Chain A
Amino acid sequence: NAGVMQNPRHLVRRRGQEARLRCSPMKGHSHVYWYRQLPEEGLKFMVYLQKENIIDESGMPKERFSAEFPKEGPSILRIQQVVRGDSAAYFCASSPAGLSGANVLTFGAGSRLTVL
């Protein structure tokens, strides 16, 4: 079982470019979560998706950020017109069903975005 796979592990972008981060959940998991970790901070929830559905995007910035989880293929977190403040580690997690007390998220190793 390959676990949650994120790529790229490291991404460098210049201000104004677009960043695309991909996440393949664990086999059998249909729910994906994205979290952002700023330097010296804990992880902050961004968005929760099921296949072809955004369930909760309350943590997503209102502009420039979007996420999708298509029927086929990985989940993608897209950041348009990146700014230096977007530099962070972005973690994806997956679960077999909606999070409950018994369910636990499995995290990927993260994608580290650096904006020059």
Chain B
Amino acid sequence: AQSVTQLDSHVSVSEGTPVLLRCNYSSSYSPSLFWYVQHPNKGLQLLLKYTSAATLVKGINGFEAEFKKSETSFHLTKPSAHMSDAAEYFCVLGGSQGNLIFGKGTKLSVKP
């Protein structure tokens, strides 16, 4: 069965400090993995995607994620948080039927 687990429902960091949002997946085939961001009352914006090329994936706004098959993880990181990064982040697995399987989301708060 395919599934994705976001290990933290809330993460709070101070502006200028690193961000780590954790995601683990379960898949019986080579996965496609995505991170999306959702700002309040807005739609979803793609941050980055992994599709079996380079394991370190760089996305928009300074975010990146590393695919680790041995750990079945795809954690999202950013070296220095900005106030505008406050949002909800979703780790997403490409499903075998062509749909997307979403994690429950991690709300990121950034303190000044």
- Interface of A toward B, CB cutoff 8 Å: 4, 33, 35, 40-45, 48, 55-56, 58-59, 91, 93, 98-102, 104-105, 107-110, 112
Contacts and interface: CB of A to CB of B under 8 A. Distances in A.
Given A45-B95, A91-B43, A110-B43, A101 B32 contact: yes
Interface of B: 32, 34, 36, 41-46, 49, 51-52, 90, 94-95, 97-105
B98 A104 contact: no
Contact of B102 (A42, A48, A98, A109): A42
B99 A45 contact: yes
A33 B99 contact: yes
Contacts of A98: 98
Nearest to B4: A42
Contact of B51 (A33, A101, A105, A109): A101
Nearest to A98: B98
Contacts of A100: 32, 98
Give the interface centre of B46, B98, B103 by most chain A CB atoms within 10 Å: B98
A100 B29 CA distance: 13
